[in-house]
A and B are shown apart, each in its own frame.
Chain A
Amino acid sequence: MSTATAAPDGRRTRPWAHLLVGRVTPLGEVLAGGRVATKALQIAVAVFLSVVLWRALYVGTSSQAGLDREQAVTYAVLGTVLVSTRFSASWLNGDTVLQRMQQGTILFWFLRPMSARRYYFVRGLGELGYAQVWLAVTVLVCLPLGVIQEPDPAMLPVFVVSLLLGNAIFYELNLVLDLLCFWTVMNQSAVQIMFFVQTLLSGGFAPLWFFPDWFRTVSLLLPFQGTLNVPVSIYVGRLPASQIAGSLALQVGWVVGLWLFNRWLWERASRRVTVQGG
């Protein structure tokens, strides 16, 4: 009999392998029968209703809040897709911190040679990547149909950068909520409040340009508008050129600030692992 020891064969030969773990959420979506079709239907209905609503609001007028009809419809369609694809995938896959806490399976996140923080990050990359696929498909379907306007080619790279930063802010904001579970064990109420506040203040319900000045000033002080309003406003050409650099800088600031805060939270959270049910 030989006694098994550390460092058996086959370890640490694939240092890039952790990135592949990001497939966990998209794979769950694709392999769980019907979820892709349901998501496609949900997006199609949401886009259709948004188009009908915003075209109706523009009957008799060509421009409101600095947006013409095509800009407003494009903003609404892109916003709708971002809201409906960013939120749900890991929840449906039962892989949120709250669900793992309640099932007691969060402990496995601390029994692996990949830290819980890194797993959460890589999974988030996959999840947001999956959401961007839906966004791209929607754009590719809606553009030839004339539902949304084409972006200014010169601004397209700026839009992509701003969208990536927006996704990063979205990720960090949700991470704050998830990490709170390590102290509260529950976060459903906080998630519901956050969903409403984030959707409203990011421009997900209606373009922020339609809100009063004081409201837009307040939203400028908060991170939410950076998740949606900034990139989508760049796409539709509503954000004045003079404000683009400042808006991108603000997005970067929020990403860095929230990242530092979450790094601090992770360190404390991982010392507070509790497992419900023994």
Chain B
Amino acid sequence: MTPSAPGEPIVTATHLTKVFHTTSRRSGRWGALSSLVAPQRASKTAVNDVSFSVGAGELVALLGPNGAGKSTTIKMLTGILQPTAGSVTVAGLDPHRNRERNARNIGAVFGQRTQLWWDLPARESLAILRDIFEIDRAAYERRLAELDELLDLSAFWDSRVRHLSLGQRVRCDLAAALLHDPPIVFLDEPTIGMDVVVKEQVREFLRHQVHERGRTVLLTTHDMTEVARLAERVVLVNHGQLVVDGTLDDIRRRFGGSWQVRVTLADPGADVAVDGLRIVDRDGPVVAFGPGDDGTPTLEDALRRIIERHRITGVVIEEDDLEDVMRQAYLDRELPDTVA
């Protein structure tokens, strides 16, 4: 692989589609027998014509409700699953056709599963991965020390994996995914079930990997705080299709994320009017502004316009919770319409 310049696409999914074929079992007394003789086959399209790319050194969140196709997409990007149609390129390789070469370019963490050996101390598991990835011993020790500094692994890495807490185990899995120094990291719900302290430690670790080490990170999560704090860009999929490829603001605009600015006027009797803003409520000196009928301006613009027009003694900003916005996005059944 040739070195990728920052921002240059390093992960590309083009018209990616995955159809699963299953055999369903009939109910009833003779269900098992009839299923054996004449099985009922069903097809489910988990991912349908999804296209997007991730630039080198970028951190992108892949969002969507349960069953939207996020994990299937990640599994195709990592080469575990072969797409039914469309193509994937990761660091110049088709990951499914070049699994072993691709493995040297990527790290992966699946938060609900561990790649460590249950009965071995975590450090022994990491040493086995060192041998699987044929990492030079000196480089291994150097990286282990660095990962220990960032993730506090040495406090528990001599414990057997089955005895680790979830947070400890996932931190070891993060270390396992980065031992071979991959330029691209796929994280499927890495902070699921963690307490807020460990979550923040993991987020800080991911920020470090992107900003200091230049890694490319694609993560899936249901934690909207995580998205707000980490992701520069989001790709939203639902019903197997791409809905939004843009920023969180794009999602807010698309799915009715709104705000109110409640100000206290220095002059309680003043006439109130601000271009482009709607007065939602007035109670004496307290006036609530909302966006105009066309949904503009942005919150920042609105504040600037209010302060330019009126003398105020207090201000309270109320924004729709990001989770409310995402709930609307997840429930939305409109045809996908990519926002670039």
Contacts and interface: CB of A to CB of B under 8 A. Distances in A.
Interface of A: 1-15, 17-18, 20-21, 23-24, 27-28, 31-32, 92-95, 103-105, 107-108, 110-115, 119, 271, 273, 275, 277-278
B104 A11 contact: yes
B84 to A, nearest CB: 12
A11 B100 contact: no
Interface size class on chain B is 35 or more
Nearest to B133: A113
B80 A275 contact: yes
Contacts of B105: 6
B215 A4 contact: yes
A14 B131 contact: yes
A17 B119 contact: no
B120 A28 contact: yes
A65 to B, nearest CB: 42
Nearest to B209: A4
Contacts of A23: 128
B80 A4 contact: no
B4 A113 contact: no
Contact of B213 (A4, A7, A28, A271): A4
A3 B3 contact: yes
Interface of B: 1-6, 56-57, 66-67, 71, 75, 78-82, 91, 99-101, 103-106, 108, 110, 112-115, 117-121, 124, 128, 130-140, 143, 160, 180-183, 211-216
Given A8-B183, A14-B135, A110-B99, 7 more contacts: A3-B183, A3-B214, A11-B133, A14-B131, A17-B132, A105-B114, A111-B108
19 contacts: A1-B211, A2-B214, A3-B57, A6-B1, A14-B131, A14-B135, A18-B131, A21-B132, A23-B128, A32-B160, A94-B118, A94-B119, A105-B115, A107-B80, A112-B132, A113-B104, A114-B100, A115-B100, A277-B112
Contact of A12 (B81, B106, B117, B134): B134
B120 A24 contact: yes
The 5 A-B residue pairs whose C-beta atoms are closest, nearest first, are A10-B139, A3-B214, A10-B136, A6-B1, A4-B183
Main secondary structure of the interface of A (DSSP, over half): loop
Contacts of A9: 136, 139, 181
Nearest to B176: A108
B119 A31 contact: yes
Nearest to B100: A113
Nearest to B179: A10
Contacts of A95: 117
B118 A31 contact: no
A93 B117 contact: yes
A152 B140 CA distance: 49
A105 B108 CA distance: 12
Nearest to A271: B82
Given A17-B131, A111-B80, A5 B113 contact: no
Contact of B128 (A21, A32, A105, A111): A21
B189 to A, nearest CB: 10
Contacts of B120: 24, 27-28, 31
Nearest to A270: B99
Contact of A10 (B79, B81, B118, B135): B135
A193 to B, nearest CB: 18
Contacts of B138: 10
Given A7-B1, A10-B140, A112 B103 contact: yes
Contacts of B131: 14, 17-18, 20-21
Nearest to B189: A278
Given A24-B120, A111-B78, A4 B134 contact: no
A275 B91 CA distance: 25
Nearest to B79: A110
A24 B115 CA distance: 13
A17 B71 CA distance: 32
